[in-house]
Structures are given as C-alpha cells and as structure tokens.
A and B are shown apart, each in its own frame.
Chain A
Amino acid sequence: MSDESLVHVKDLKMHFPIRAGVLGRVVGAVKAVDGVTFDIIKGETLGLVGESGCGKTTAGRAILHLYRPTAGEVAFQGVDLAKETPESVRRSRRHMQMIFQDPYASLNPHMRVGEIIARPLRVHGLARNAREENDLVSELMRKVGLDASFRDRYPHEFSGGQRQRIGIARALATSPNFIVCDEPISALDVSIQAQIINLLEQLREDLGLTYLFIAHDLSMVRYISTRVGVMYLGKMMELTSSDELYENPLHPYTKALLSAIPIPDPALERQRQRILLEGELPSPADPPAGCRFSSRCPLAMDHCRIMEPQFREVAAGHWAACHLV
C-alpha cells in the first residue's frame, strides 16, 4: 500500500443472497462485486466505468460501508472500517460523503433546502448554534452556485441541475476529504452536465477533495478522471491512467467499450470501426467460468473459459486481467 493512498480496497466482495421458497432459504447469490483490489490516491479522481450490473455502484457503496462487505478489506486513511465499532464508523463517515445519481429522488421533498443542507451539520454536531448553522448553510450554497436566499424553498421548486447542486452542498457540509460521485450527471440535460462537471472540478481544486467518480459515460470519465478502472460482472478488468486507458487499452472489453462510444464528428465516425460485442451481459448470479468476459470476448480461447486471469500490473501503473496481455 502506497503511503499517499487514501482508500485501500483489497479483494472486496459484496454478494447479495437470493432467497426462495416459503422459508426464504438462500439458494444462491448475486455476486455484485466479486473480488476487486485497488487504491484511491489522495487528491485524484478515480473513474469507475462499466455497463449496468457490473457492480460499480455497489463497489462505491461498499467502500463507504453503506453495505457491510461479504469479504475483503476497505481501509480509509489506513483504518479498516469493518473492524471498527459502529460509533467510530459513524464518526469516520464525516470524512466521506456521497453524491447521488438522481437529484429528484435523493432530496426529501418535504424538507426545505436549508434544512437538507443543515442535516449533516446537526448529525455530526458541527454547528455550535443556530446562527452558525445558518452561516454555514449560506456559505455552502454560495460555494455550489446557489443563491442563499433560496434556502426556504422546497426541492420541487428547483431544476435538475440546481437540485444536483443542493446534493453537492449537502455532501460538502461535513468538510469531507473523499466523495463518491455515483453517476452525478446522467440524469441531467446535456447543456447542464458541463456546469456540474466544472463545479465538481472547481471544488476538488479548492478544497483538495478526492473523488471516486462512477459513470457509464466514458467521454466524461476520461475528461474528469486521473485514473480509470473498467469493471465487468463484478470484476476489475483494467485500471490505469486516463490517457493510457484511452490511447493504449489492453483488455478486449475496454477496447470494445471504447469503440462503442460515438464521437460527435461525422467524418471521423464514418472511418471508425466498431467492435460489436455479441449477446448480452450474463447474470451476475451465474457468471461464466474462467474469465468473466469469455462468453462475449471476440478473442476468447478455450483456456479463457477454464482459467480465470489474474489482475496484474502488466506495465508500470497499468493493471489488466486478461490471458492475452
């Protein structure tokens, strides 16, 4: 573990039991995250990409201990939260926050915006009195580009982009140093997405934040991330610096994923070759034997269907799990 690592994830597994029958007997498990290892370096933005069902959101939540991991270790600032008391985990939460995907569902419609933002301050006892709380809320609203005089309004009075700003202000309330951003722009209009991304970038610089940025929009992930991890069916397939991943992808899945992203340039699009993946994502309750990607991989050999490839460092700082690299 490198000394600058803020979050250290080792062999993290998150399985959800499948119950059946009147007795609710466990008949299997959805292996949402099935053994991933990586570090999040202080000050970086680590992008996590993959298709729906690949386990990226579950990984983000397990890192924040919103789920108790099935196995493996998540250390935050060198402390393994699974070994701590609930009280100490609660106190650690102050330093790690989350921004949610859907700004319509993640704000309580019955609470005024000022109350929503003040809630984390109260939970963690960060304001000495009402006046201080008031000042802190105004300061937070200003920071995310909202007019502090809107504090008595309700969420429905705001547009999607503004609501996402409210969600960001709430996440910032406890002065965290690590924020999990779970698809923070995918519910927003195209012209608003750039506003939120620029705000997140600005805040990271100003406040020295570290982000785990979960998204399926690979163009945006390339833009905002220092390093990017590619997940498929609960496993990490490739992890390297943002530029390296896009210019020198090694894993066949990464290559297919990148070729599927359309570029807004018609002349270029006519020349680009698509690697079309056959079929659909297999079920995470019953993943293929050997390499997870072998059932859809255009290069799969017999060997791939039997032996699971190791996730290893194939070049300096470039990790991949594939027999062919």
Chain B
Amino acid sequence: MIQDGLPPFERGKRQSGEAPARKLLEVRNLETKFYTVDGVVNALNGISYSVDRGECLAIVGESGSGKTVGVLSILRLIQSPPGRIVGGSIFFKETDLLTLADRALREIRGRAIAVIFQDPMTSLNPVMRIGAQITENLLAHERLTRRQARSRAADLLAMVGIPTPLQRLDDYPHQFSGGMRQRVMIAMALSCSPQLIIADEPTTALDVTIQAQIVELVKKLQAELGTAVIWISHDLGVVARLADRVAVMYAGYIVEQAPVDDLYARPAHPYTIGLLNSLPRLDARVKTKLQAIGGLPPNLLGDLRGCPFVPRCRFASDRCREQNPALAEVAPGHVVACWHDRLKH
C-alpha cells in the first residue's frame, strides 16, 4: 500500500535539518487499526500529509473515512484497546510524536498543538465553571498564579467575542448557547498560544449564522496569530471559504490533495468530482439534476484489494479492482490516487 507519492528511496528516511523550516507538521505513512470483535477495522491505511506554519489544511471526507482518527492519532488520543497506531511517523517540527515519552507528549498537547472538538455540548465539563476549565490548561502549562490565569482567561473570552467576560468566567456551560460554547472551546484551544490547532468539525452542530461567525473568527485569529489550522469537515462550502489546501479522504486513504483553488476548479479523483457534483449550489440559476454518488459508504472491515472507491466508481476498470493506485502528481502540489485519471495525462 504505497500512498505517499514520494519516490521509494525517499520513503522512511529522515535526517535532521532535511525538511525546510516552513514545515510544522509532517505525517508519513500513518496507519491506525482497530482490533474489534468483528475483525480488524482498517481506519487509516498509510496516509501522508504536511502542514506549513500559518497554513490552513482542510481534511474532507464522510463519516468513516478516517478523518477524525487521522488527527486524533497525531496526539495519540486513540483509545487503546481497541485502537492502535501500527505504522508511520508524525513529525512536529523535529520531534517524532509517535516515539515521544508520554510526559513529553503531554507538554505538547494543549500547548503547542490544541484541539477543538466537534460537539461543544459534550466536550465541556458540565459541573465545572467556564473559568476553571480555561485556567486548568493555563495552569498546567504555564507558570502563572491563579489570579494571572484568571485574567488571561477573561482576555481569551474577550478575544473570541464573548461579552462581559469577567462575569461569564463564573458561569457553567449550560448557561452558554451552542455558539458561545464553541467560542469557549476556541478560547481554551488558544490559551497557550499553540502553533497548530486541530479543529474537528467545529461548526457541524451549529446553525448557519453561528457557523459563519465561528468561521470568520477562526480566519481572523489565524491571520492575527499566525496559527496553523487543520480543519476537518464534510462541508465543501466552509472548506472553500477557509482552507489553503485540501486533502480528500475515502476509506482511510487520502485520495486527492491539492491547493484549494485547484481542487475545486480541476478535481481529478472520481470521488471528489462526485462530491462536488452532488451538491446543489446556492447561486445556481438553472436547476440541473443532482448527480448522486451511487452505492454505500465503504466498509473498513477486513482486507481490501484494489481501489477502495471501485464499487461506486463510474470509471472502474479491471486494473482498479486488482491494484490500489498510489498518489501521483498531476499538477504542482496536486496529487491524486486514480488509475483512470492517470491515463488522461
């Protein structure tokens, strides 16, 4: 399963100072499996990507495509058992997070790399005041007195646009609305000035007007603070608004990766093309029938032969059924894993 599109001699080799300093995170051949009673779930099948400083990478895919497992693996937050990272490397600057001692990893979690989880309703502790939840992270990572931490927490709430922040520090999560809770989550993520924020579908549970507020807030903070963002989403509209580059995942593989304009203008993988064609556009003047992708989302149980998209692909050939294509570059920075597309070039 060759997935990273690098020439073979480069794979697996890594010397210090080899990577340019722009690179903040580099994931290579990451493989995560879940050992369940029903069998082995191949959640991640050797994915590779990198994030530059200050960049926003969007990871797009449906439920079960492995996008969440992919980012949780970065911080080794996969529950084990049943999950296990079985291969690959994750370099954050010069450190391999997969071989790092637990203690050292805790220094990175919440400080250099922060996560905003999907559901703001369940990821805050309901019996702990908002102020205490924000200062917990600050006190764990920085040398601050309680008083200093509290005033930092109020500043953070103000930064994410919560009115009268000092008073709200003493509120409980249930006193906040959904959008406000997501702002609290963002404030917590920003508390130790991370270099990378991982946002796992942060707007899925929110209404569109609140989603717009959150997206604009993240855009603004990213520009002001120079934080890199990995934005996980199934919403191709939000991604178009926010991302610099996009990786499309399917069945635990990255099947296409490209700069945002290139991906939307010249999608190359049949799955990406299908996703874009199945969406109605708000600005569409003529009604054209939606082109649905037929079939069902993939089953990740057991071994796979050939390309994972074959059962739903219009262009599938015998070769696709036999051999899974590796990623290959079709334009600068634009890679795609498809035999059919390769024939066109």
Whether both chains belong to one complex is answered with yes
> Across the interface, do B234 and A194 meet the contact criterion of CB distance under 8 Å?
no
Q: Do the beta carbons of B282 and A52 come within 8 Å of each other?
A: no
Q: Mark A5-37, 1 if CB is under 8 A from B, else 0.
A: 000000000000000000000000000000000
Q: Which residue of A lies closest to B234 (CB)?
A: A190
Inside 8 A of B283's CB, which chain A residues have their CB? Answer: 246, 263, 268
- Write out the residue numbers on chain B whose beta carbons fall within 8 Å of the beta carbon of A3: none
Mask for B240-255, Cβ within 8 A of A = 1, else 0? Answer: 1101000000000000
Q: CB within 8 A of B212: which of A161, A274, A280?
A: A274
Write out, one digit per residue, whether chain B residues 278-302 have a CB within 8 A of any chain A CB (1) or not (0).
1111111101011111101100000
Chain A residues in 8 Å Cβ range of B215: 262
Q: Is the CB of A216 within 8 A of B290?
A: no
Return chain B residues, CB-CB under 8 Å to A260.
208-209, 211-212
Closest chain B CB from A164 CB (angstroms): 13
Inter-subunit contact B237/A262 (CB<8 Å): yes
Interface residue tally of chain B, by bracket?
35 or more
Known: A198-B289, A216-B207. A222 touches B280 (CB 8 A): yes
User: Could you show 25 A-B contacts with beta carbons less than 8 Å apart?
Assistant: A159-B296, A189-B297, A191-B278, A191-B297, A194-B279, A195-B294, A198-B289, A198-B290, A201-B289, A216-B207, A218-B208, A219-B279, A260-B211, A262-B235, A262-B238, A262-B240, A263-B237, A264-B236, A264-B237, A264-B276, A266-B264, A274-B212, A276-B212, A280-B179, A280-B180
B171 within 8 A of A: no
B280 pairs with A223, CB closer than 8 A: yes
Q: Does A316 contact B (CB under 8 A)?
A: no
Cβ of A191 to closest chain B Cβ, rounded Å: 4
- The complex places the Cα of A277 from the Cα of B212 at a distance, in Å, of 9
- Out of A162, A189, A269, name the residue touching B62 (CB < 8 Å): A189
Whether a CB of chain B sits under 8 angstroms from the CB of A1 is no
Whether A177 sits at the interface, judged by CB under 8 Å, is no
- Which residue, of A161, A259, A262, A280, has the highest number of chain B Cβ atoms within 10 A? A262
Q: What is the bound-complex CA distance between A198 and B277, given in angstroms?
A: 13
Selected contact of B264 from candidates A243, A257, A265, CB within 8 Å: A265
Kindly supply a per-residue 1/0 record for chain A positions 162-185, scoring 1 wherever the CB is within 8 Å of any chain B CB and 0 otherwise: 100000000000000000000000
A192, B241: Cα distance in complex, Å: 23
CB distance from B231 to the nearest CB of A (A): 12
Give the residues from 136 to 174 in chain B that come closer than 8 angstroms, CB to CB, to chain A.
none
Q: Which residues of B contact A51 (CB under 8 A)?
A: 207-210
**Is B36 positioned at the interface, with any CB of A under 8 Å from its CB?**
no
**Alpha-carbon distance between A198 and B288 when the two chains are bound, in angstroms:** 11
A191-B297, A216-B208, A223-B280 known; A266+B216 contact, CB < 8 A? no
Cα of A52 to Cα of B285 in the assembled complex, Å: 27
Report the minimum CB–CB distance from A192 to chain B (whole Å).
7
Tell whether A289 is near chain B: CB-to-CB under 8 Å. no
Q: Are A194 and B236 in contact (CB under 8 A)?
A: no
Q: Which of A192, A198, A259, A264 makes the CB contact (< 8 A) with B281?
A: A264
- B213 within 8 A of partner (CB): yes
A252–B198 Cα gap in the complex (Å)? Answer: 34
Collect the chain A residues with CB atoms within 8 Å of residue B95's CB: none
How long is the Cα–Cα vector from A256 to B216 in the complex, in angstroms? 14
A280 touches B274 (CB 8 A): no
Q: In whole angstroms, how far apart are the Cα atoms of A243 and B284 in the complex?
A: 9
Asked if A197 CB lies within 8 Å of chain B CBs, one says yes
Beyond A218-B208, A223-B280, is A266–B260 a contact (Cβ under 8 Å)?
Answer: yes
Chain B residues, Cβ within 8 Å of A216: 207-208
CB of B322 closer than 8 Å to a CB of A: no
B297 contacts across to A, CB distance below 8 A: 159, 189, 191-192
* Chain A residues whose C-beta falls within 8 Å of the C-beta of B241 in the assembled complex: 262, 266, 269
Contact A190 B279 (CB under 8 A): yes
State how many angstroms separate the Cβ of A52 from the closest Cβ of chain B. 6
A92 within 8 A of partner (CB): no
CB distance from A109 to the nearest CB of B (A): 19
A218 surroundings in chain B (CB, below 8 A):
208, 282
A55 to chain B, nearest CB (A): 14
Cβ of A268: which chain B residues have Cβ within 8 Å of it? Answer: 240, 283
Interfacial residues of chain A within 215-231, with CB under 8 A of chain B in the complex: 216, 218-220, 222-223
Is the C-beta of B261 less than 8 angstroms from some C-beta in chain A? yes
Closest to B210 in A: A280
Q: From residue B202, how far is it (CB to closest CB) to chain A in Å?
A: 14
- Which of the four size classes fits the interface of chain A? 35 or more
Interface membership of B275, Cβ < 8 A:
yes
- Whole-angstrom CA separation of A267 from B265 in the bound complex: 9
CB-nearest residue of chain B relative to A202? B289
Contact of A161 among B207, B265, B289, B296 (CB under 8 A): B296
A190 to B215, CA, bound (A): 20
Min Cβ gap A74→B in Å is 27
Query: Which residues on the B side are within 8 Å of A301 (C-beta)?
Result: none
A261 in the interface, Cβ–Cβ < 8 Å? yes
In the complex, what residue of chain B is closest to A197 when comparing beta carbons?
B290
Q: Is A146 engaged at the interface, CB distance under 8 Å to the other chain?
A: no
Determine whether the beta carbon of A52 is less than 8 Å from that of B291.
no
Is A258 part of the contact surface with B, judged by Cβ < 8 Å?
A: yes
Q: Which residues of B contact A267 (CB under 8 A)?
A: 261, 264-265
Give the docked Cα–Cα distance between A33 and B221 (Å). Answer: 38
In the bound complex, do residue A264 and residue B278 qualify as a contact, i.e. CB atoms below 8 Å apart? no
| Contact B261 A266, beta carbon cutoff 8 Å | yes
- Other-chain contact of B282, A159, A190, A191, A261 (Cβ < 8 Å): A261
For B289, give the chain A residue with the smallest CB separation: A198
B238: chain A residues within 8 A (beta carbon): 262
User: Is the CB–CB distance between B279 and A264 below 8 Å?
Assistant: yes
Residue of A nearest to B283 (CB): A263
* CB <8 Å contact, A276 and B213: yes
Nearest-neighbour CB distance to chain A for B247, whole angstroms, equals: 15
Taken together as a complex, chains A and B put the C-alpha atoms of A24 and B210 apart, in Å, by 35
B51-72: contact bitstring with A at CB < 8 Å (1 yes, 0 no)? 0000000000011000000000
Residues B177 and A266 in contact, CB atoms below 8 Å apart: no
Query: Within 8 Å CB of A265, what residues of B?
Result: 240, 264, 281
- A193 close to B (CB within 8 Å): yes
Contacts of A257 in B (CB 8 A): 208-209
